[in-house]
Structure 1
């Protein structure tokens, strides 16, 4: 049986929220993309008053790359990882990955962030599997339509088990690990025998680790 070391991404292995960082990066590359800022602010407001759910927010927000050619998107996210994401990793997160990997654990990243750029985290040699929110490519172009559900909460457990079943992997959950910055990941935290919250400040029942 495999033992897993599961990590959330935003604010767990990265110091900042990655989707907003992508938006800022696209603006930095071409200031004309600032025209999408009102849409981003509007989407956030509609979510804050419970009119948009997270799926609709993301589909609306990603207008800034809609229609981009697949090859151009691949280049964009490769450079985004090199210029931004790689520089925003918690050193303690990487140390934990290395430590658990050396003990035979499989390292999985499971996040609600879009999978099309999360895949760049395969640059971290310890990472075995990445699961994120999936979006659509149609006729070789990015379409801001989510495939399935937002990969959050119970959906993370569902997606994980789909992958494990497909790969015919049996897991020793009692001796597996899960790291997250948020109680929205309670379904995954409850799944394993070793569950930790990262830099969490509210009262809770899980052990908290302070990562830098």
Structure 2
């Protein structure tokens, strides 16, 4: 079934911040004894930027503290750090699109461990995110499969469409991101927007402010 889609990246697009970094600080504050692990995060980040460590391994270091958290901790993080960081303009666009019959889809490289709570909002239909493995009923810091970024977002969206039987109405659909790494995802729709970016790169416009 053909459906109008409104597709949104999350970090720096729907919210003002990098949720992965915010989670690192949140975990450190909950367990101050984990402070030495911050050096590992810095090392892994440097190795990733140098091209000698895959993104999945580098990112897992940021979620070291998640093994000590249950669902209530993760929901608390979402409600106290993620929700308050939402751009009011992004919220208004999502609400408007939902009211106009669009299927509102969030697609993010951040983990489903806390991004899944976005589906509690009445104007968000589904969230596609990087998956973390679980053990004994809790998430681990290890990424399951691939980091949901770039072309991987397109693959995840196509799998979602196959699972739901939906087809993106290219002419009427729209997508929003702050990053050029999301150009493959933006290519799935006719109306594409780069948020808070200094170059349009074939996109229709630049909306909301930093």
Interval of TM-score (by shorter of Structure 1 and Structure 2):
over 0.9
Question: Normalised by the size of structure 1, how large is the TM-score?
Answer: 0.92
* Structure 2 Cα separation of the partners of residues 170 and 189 of structure 1: 15
Structure 1, 35-44 or 89-98: larger mean CA deviation: 35-44
Given that residues 153 and 185 in structure 1 are in contact (C-alpha distance below 8 angstroms), is that contact kept between their aligned partners in structure 2?
A: yes
Point out the more displaced range, 14-23 or 53-62.
53-62
Pairwise CA distance, 1:48:
1.8
Name 1:144's counterpart in structure 2: 141
Structure 1 residues 203, 159: CA separation in 2 closer, same or farther (over 3 Å shift)? Answer: closer
The answer to whether the aligner puts 1:6 opposite 2:7 as a matched pair is yes
State the aligned residue count.
208
Which whole-Å CA distance do the structure 2 matches of 1:171 and 1:206 have between them? 18
Aligned equivalent of 2:23: 22
Deviation, 1:42, is 0.9
| CA positional deviation for 1:147 | 1.5
Partner of 2:106: 109
Partners in 2 of 1:138 and 1:28 — Cα distance?
A: 23
Q: Say which SS state the counterpart of residue 35 (structure 2) adopts.
A: helix
Question: Structure 1: which 5+ residue stretches go unaligned?
Answer: none
Q: Distance in 1 between matches of 2:198 and 2:13?
A: 14
RMSD across aligned positions (CA) = 1.5
SS of the residue 2:175 aligns to: strand
Instruction: Determine whether 1:42 maps to 2:43.
Output: yes
Quickly say closer, same or farther: Cα 1:141–1:102, change in 2 above 3 A: closer
Comparing 87-96 with 160-169, greater Cα deviation is found at 160-169
Match of 2:80 in 1: 83
Q: Distance in 2 between matches of 1:203 and 1:90?
A: 20
Say whether 1:171 aligns with 2:172: no
TM-score of the superposed pair, with normalisation by structure 2: 0.93
2:23–2:62 CA contact under 8 A, matched in 1? no
Higher alpha-carbon deviation: 190-199 or 202-211: 202-211
Unaligned runs of 5+ in 2: none
- Say whether 1:162 aligns with 2:163: no
Aligned to 1:196: 193
Q: CA deviation at 1:203?
A: 5.7
Local SS of the residue matching 1:209:
strand
**Does the residue aligned with 2:7 lie in a helix, a strand or coil?**
strand
Alpha-carbon distance in structure 2 between the residues aligned to 1:129 and 1:65: 23
1:159 Cα deviation (Å)? 0.6
Deviation per CA, 1:153-179: give whole Å up to 9, x if none.
Answer: 111111111111111112212211100
